[in-house]
Amino acid sequence: MKPQIVTFLIKCPDQKGIIAKLTHFFFQEGFNIISSQQYTNSESKKFFMRIRCASDATVLLSKEQLHERFSRLAQAYQITWSVDFGRKKQKVAILVSHTSHNLYDLLHRNKEGKLNCEVAMVVSNHEKLKPIADMFGIPFYYRPVTKETKETQEAELIRLFDEQGIDLLVMARYMQILSSGFIKHFENRIINIHHSFLPAFQGANPYKRAYERGVKLIGATAHYATEDLDEGPIIEQGVERVTHESTPNSLKKIGADIETLVLARAVNSHLNNQIIVDGNKAIVFPETGE
């Protein structure tokens, strides 16, 4: 019988002995700690932990039992927590409009086994990128949208994603502003790539405005989507030096390469349960080579 693997994400007020209390709990329940990462924010007096454990094969707790027992500890120490049992790959939907580089990169990485997920579908408000989804054998859903049909289209998407059991939405340059109701329905489960090093050059045409400002660095930002446009918790960022000789087109080409890497890293961090959202900040623990 295979051991049970669990990953806990924990945040609580910082307090003396909290690490000892947590590790003792897992010892008592028959778990062997595979990796433990922790961080204390001295400004907010908050403690964050990612702990990954394997059970003794002879002591397998049900999800309900583990939830019940850890909940008692959580209540005593004001712990907010989540647990992943690692028994199934998360199902991902990729949302796109016209631009192909992020979509192609994610599908290629997934095909090569570099993303631990099942890409269940590609959804677009245009038909242009259907051949890429077809190339990788991924179902493509065309859902056009106008200002007048936005509410209906979003309701259709919510039904589609819920029916298919989608765990994560990736906006790979999906050029639509999502409603607050849609975002709340998938809170902390929508990752967006912004082709700018936020908070600089928010909105459309950032490379043109970067060129006009004569910037010496350009970049990309992956973040969770929130009601405040382009201001959600930042998961990953990347930058590249440029010079006065750069043109809007050359900046766009460099930026596209940065986008693909930044978005892939952000998606990977989410899939591997490396992220704890705290207010408008994302605590991202590094990979441990698991």
Active site residues: 230
Query: What residues contact residue 25 under an 8 Å CB cut-off, 6+ apart?
Result: 69, 70, 73
Distance between CA atoms of residues 138 and 154, nearest Å: 21
Dihedral sign computed on CA atoms, order 262, 226, 132, 109: positive
Distance between CA atoms of residues 77 and 61, nearest Å: 22
Distance between CA atoms of residues 205 and 184, nearest Å: 27
Contact indicator for 222, 236 with CB cutoff of 8 Å: yes
51: which DSSP letter?
Answer: E
Contact indicator for 48, 278 with CB cutoff of 8 Å: yes
Dihedral sign computed on CA atoms, order 279, 230, 156, 168: negative
Cα 197 from chain centroid (whole Å): 17
Distance between CA atoms of residues 262 and 238, nearest Å: 6
DSSP β-ladder status, 275-278 and 234-241: unpaired
How many helices (H) and strands (E) the chain has is answered by 8, 13
Query: Residue 177: helix, strand or coil by DSSP?
Result: coil
Contact indicator for 198, 239 with CB cutoff of 8 Å: no
Distance between CA atoms of residues 230 and 228, nearest Å: 6
